[in-house]
Structures are given as C-alpha cells and as structure tokens.
Amino acid sequence: MDIAIIGIGLHPFGRHEGVSAMEMGVIAARRALDDAGLSWQDVDIACGGSLQVLQPDTMGKFMGLTGIPFTNLYNGCATGGNLLLSAANAILAGSGDVAIAIGMDKHPRGAFSVGDDLAGIGLGQWYGEVGLAVNPQFFGMKTQRYMHDHGISEDTLHRIAVKAFENGSRNPQAWRRRALSYEEIATSEMVCDPLRKYHFCSPSEGAAAMVVCRADRAARYTTKPIHIRADVFKTRLYGSFEVMHASIPADSRPSPSVQASRSAFEAAGIGPEEIDVAQVQDTEAGHEMMHMAECGFCKDGEQEALVRDGATGIGGRIPINTDGGLLANGEPIGASGLRQVYEVCLQLRGEAGQRQVPGDPSTGFTHVYGFPGVSCATVLSR
Amino acid sequence: MSTQIPIQEGLFTWPAPSPQLIGSRCLNCGEVTFPAQPSCPACTSDRTEEVLLSRRGTLWTWTIQHFPPPSPPWLGDPKAFEPFGVGYVELPEGVRVEAPLTENDADSLEIGMEMELVVRRFDEDADGNERMTFYFKPAA
Ligand SMILES: [Zn+2]
C-alpha cells in the first residue's frame, strides 16, 4: 500500500461534559486538516465512524457542505482501523487526492450494553435475559483459559496495568494520568475472574482523525509523512473463541487478530521483530497479554518474562501502548483505533514528549479487535 | 399452580426428567452448533438437522460475573444481585457451550472438572408462569 498519513488530529479522550461526540469529531477533523496544512475544501473523500452518532456524515453541515462522498462505517471496536483502511482504499482506487477518516464517540458510564434487541446481533433474546451478553465475561474467560494453557500468573496482568497507567501519567492528553501502584491494582475489586477493576478500560468520550493521500504526493503537504505499509481487516474464522458466542467448536482456530497481523506483516515486508513501537487492543490487561502473542511480538507463554523484564515499557525491546492505551484513555469505540494510529505517528515523528520512545523509532504497528470477532492490523513507517 | 415454561422454545427439551440442549448438526460436514440453526458456520451448508446434546461435559473455562449486567437486556433484579458463574462446557459432540453456572465461588470451579446440565427457574412472566433456563453444575 502506497498511502501516507499527512495530518493527524485528536480530541483528547475522557469525560467532556456538555460536548457532543459530533463536536469532538469536528475538532479532531479540523486539527488533522491543520496538521496537513489543508482545509475541508481540499477533502475529496470522508469516512466517519461512531457507535453513538447515528450518522457521522451529518457533521458535514459543521465542516461545510462541499458535496463530497462521506461514508458512514461501524465495525465495533475495529471501527477506527476500518476508517483508516477505507480512506486509504478510496485514494488507492483513484477516487480523489485527499481523504479524511474521522472517529468519534461518547458513551455513558458503566459497562457497554448491547441494548434490548439481540436479534440485531444474531442472538436469541434469552442470551441477554439470563445475563450472558456481557463483554467482560468473555475477556475473563479467554484470559482464564490462556493463563491455564500457558502458565501465566496474575502478576503479568498487574504489571501490564502498572505500565499502562505509568505511560498515561506521562501523556498530557490521557484521561487517566495518575500512575497506580502494583498494590492498588492487585487488590482492586474483582470484575470477571481473573480480571480486576484496574485491569479494565472504561467507555469514554473523544475523537480522532487522519488525513491521507498518495505517498508520492505527501511532500506537498508535510515534511513528516507516515507511510501506511499495510492495513488489513479480517473477520473471525469458524473456530476462533469470540465474544458473545453461545457455542464454539472444540477444534479451535487462530483469532482474527492473528489473521490480520500475519497478513499485514507479510504485505508490508516488515516482520514483528522489526517494529519499534506498537499499539495493541488492551480492552483489559488480559487482552494486551494475549495480543502480544497473537500479533506476533512473542510466543504464547513468553509474556510473563517479557512483561516482568519491562520489554513492553517505553525504552524496552518492544514498547506497547506508549500513550497508556485503552486502560489510560478509555474507549470511545469509533475513535479508539485512530487514537492508536495518532500515537504511533507522534512516536515516528519524534513528537511524543515525555513518553517518546528512545532511539529514533522508524516503524510502528497498530491493532484493534472487537465484537463479534473483527480485527484490523496496520504497519506504519516513516 | 404456575406452569414451568422454557425461557425460549427450542433451546432444551422441557418438560423432561433429564433435559437436554437442542443443537444442530450439519448434514454436509457433521459440525454441531448450539443453539440449533438452519445453516452451518463451518462449511456454509444450509442443510442441518436437530440433535440432542450430551448432558455431561468438562469445564473448558469460567469466570464469575461480579457486577449486575447492563439491563436491558438482562432481566435479573439489580437490587437483589448476587455474583454468578459463567463458563464454557465442552461436550462429547465436539462443541463448547456457554452457560450460566450454578456455582459463584472461584474455589469451587476448576478447568477440566466434570459438569452436568440442570434446568432451573430463572424468573416469572407476566402471566405467572415460571420461566426456566439451563445451567451447568459440577457433576456429582
Ligand atoms: Zn457444515
């Protein structure tokens, strides 16, 4: 893929009383355009994604009604990854010169609800009525089985959370900027065994946007383009263990995260061992642990030693979720994947301040994963 | 006297002294899925038949739900909430079925333990019928 990111914008994640998701989307889009030295009139294609905003394209009246195709897109927690992919694909197809991807969301406090009509997600109503339609149950159960199979202790979960909030404390744009002690995390209340309160991210509010163009035209707009070397979207294969599945076969298959990451690394011609900074979906500490292996950064079971030795911290061999990840930023679903890309762009541009990965990183990776078994993996380079 | 009705028709045999889950088996590749569905997620065939699943299996993984699930869709009473176990039980048909568990104590659950199906009261509908649903409990 020969597409470059030429502008990045973020409306910081957190709680923003009185500011709508769409207003945050407008702010992120304007920041991304400013970063590229462009205005909305220069945009040929827009892609918007959100859970809470029914139709992101309605924001056109705040940006300016210029007649461009503005596609709405939603793929659960993988929405952000797909927004970038769709914008890039539109440029690859020759539909225009400049495309923008905008993700925005604003969720109420508390666990995500699937609402009152489960037929809309292919499930019987009974599944929700008896209390099975709860994401954290799946996170707990997958983590539980993985720890059993690969000899990993709760120590790894605690350390992953310590690192997330430590990174968040170095990120002025993070929602949770207080570093938490190992003790606080390890003794926080149990949510879904073996996962505790501070192992989890919370739904939050925020927006992020990216402006892209053909790589060979990027120099017109910026001196620091970030190249999308590969961007792959996969849905679940029969046999992968996924959230909200009333049954799964005993004969298991690799997750969509494995499929997407492998394909992305292959297409990029860059291997996971060559990545300088990575973002993986850390809905909770258990999934950061599992995604380290699913995305190819280690073998199953190696996480215990890697995390203990600080390999995934800033300054480690493979820094992961350097901005504090979902744990320190929360998850506005539509925007989350683009926040990951925003962070990797900052790192590769050398603009990450207190949390800058040392050694002048030149390659990055982002990964989103979500219901009902979707994943996007992106390989980036300077 | 109230009548006991399944929380949804077609999930398990009821009334029955030894209730069984109702799944489907693909007529093309033989894969078993629960609940029963008219098509096969493994091979894309649209020819399946109903099959009654074994009542016993082994606990493949588990967790305990420590907070009241979002409501809707959960129909429990948040004020009377008690943590409950959830797990996947691997059955001899080669399928792992997700279900609430009768146990809610981490010390009483272990991956690999024998489990068996039970049907118990979940709640009452507007007409005073007892709505029944399935659970797995550690096998005696
Ligand atoms: Zn089949």
pLDDT digits (tens, 9 = 90+) for A289-307: 999 999 999 999 999 999 9
Burial profile A35-61: b = 16 or more Cβ within 10 angstroms, e = fewer: bbebebebbbbbbbbbbbbeebbebbe
Q: Averaged over A355-365, what is the pLDDT?
A: 98
Going from the C-alpha of A315 to that of each of A279, A322, A355, B81, the distances in angstroms are: 15, 10, 9, 45
pTM for the full predicted model: 0.97
Q: Which amino acid is at B58?
A: T
Given a contact cutoff of 8 angstroms between Cβ atoms, the answer to whether A221 and A97 are in contact is no
- How far is Cα A315 from Cα A182, in angstroms, rounded to an integer? 20
Domain limits for position B86: 4-138
Question: Nearest Cα to A279, choosing from A172, A355, A180, A203?
Answer: A355
Residue found under tokens 């996971």: A272
pLDDT at position A115: 82
- pLDDT the model gives residue B24: 98
Residue B84 has pLDDT above 80, yes or no: yes
Mean pLDDT of A310-328: 98
Beta pairing partners, B96: A248, B90
- Contact between B76 and B99 (Cβ < 8 Å): no
CA angle B25, B27, B33 (to 5 degrees): 20
Q: Do A25 and A56 meet the contact criterion of CB atoms below 8 Å apart?
A: yes
Query: Which positions in chain B have a beta carbon within 8 angstroms of at least one beta carbon in chain A?
Result: 7-8, 11, 23, 31-35, 41-42, 60-67, 69-76, 84, 86-88, 90, 94-100, 106, 111, 122, 133
From chain A, pick out residues whose CB is under 8 angstroms from the CB of B63: 137, 140-141, 144, 192-195
Structure confidence by residue, pLDDT tens digits, A11-30:
999 999 999 999 999 999 99
Q: Which helix (H) or strand (E) holds A205?
A: strand A205-214
Query: Is pLDDT at A111 greater than 70 in this prediction?
Result: yes
A183 touches A4 (CB < 8 A): no
User: For residues A70 and A50, what is the distance between their CA atoms, to the nearest angstrom?
Assistant: 13
Q: Which residue has the tokens 């797995």?
A: B136
Which pLDDT belongs to residue B1?
59
Residue A65 within a domain: yes
- pLDDT tens-digit series, residues B122-132: 999 999 999 99
A284 in any annotated domain: yes
Name every chain B residue with its beta carbon within 8 A of the beta carbon of A251.
Answer: 94
Contact at CB, B62 and A193, closer than 8 angstroms:
yes
Contacts of A201 (CB under 8 A, 6+ apart): A282, A283, A284, A325, A326, A327, A329, A330, A331
Domain assignment of residue A146, yes or no = no
Q: Which residues contact A223 (CB under 8 A, 6 or more apart)?
A: none
Beta bridge partners of B90: B58, B96
For residue A1, is pLDDT > 80?
A: no
Q: Which of A114, A239, A248 sits opposite B88 (nearest CB)?
A: A248
- Under a CB-based contact definition with an 8 Å cutoff, are residues A299 and A276 in contact? no
A277-279/A363-370 β-pairing: parallel
What is the three-class DSSP state of A147? helix
Q: Quick one: pLDDT at residue B94?
A: 97
Q: How far is the CA of A124 from the centre of ligand 1 (A)?
A: 21
Share of chain B above pLDDT 70, in %: 99
Q: Pairing between strand B32-33 and B22-26?
A: antiparallel
User: Do the domain assignments include residue A173?
Assistant: no
CA A286 to chain centroid, in Å, comes to: 15
* A113 band by pLDDT with thresholds 50, 70 and 90: confident
Q: Which domain holds residue A232?
A: 3-109+201-381
| Joined tokens for residue B71 | 């409501």
**8 A C-beta contact, residue A238 and residue A250:** no
Domain membership of residue A376 (yes or no) is yes
Find the farthest-apart pair of alpha carbons in chain B and give their distance in angstroms, rounded: 48
- Give the count of domains, chain A: 1
Cα A122 to middle of ligand 1, angstroms: 19
pLDDT for A149-208, tens place per residue?
999 999 999 999 999 999 999 999 999 999 999 999 999 999 999 999 999 999 999 999
- Choose the mutation target among B21, B29, B61 for the interface with A, i.e. most A CBs under 10 Å: B61
Where does the pLDDT of residue B140 fall: very low under 50, low under 70, confident under 90, or very high at 90 and above? confident
Mutate one of B21, B63, B117 to test the A interface: name it (highest A CB count within 10 A): B63
CATH number at residue A28: 3.40.47.10
- Predicted ipTM of the assembly: 0.97
User: For residue A147, which amino acid is it?
Assistant: M
Instruction: Kindly state the DSSP code that residue A95 receives in the 8-state scheme.
Output: S
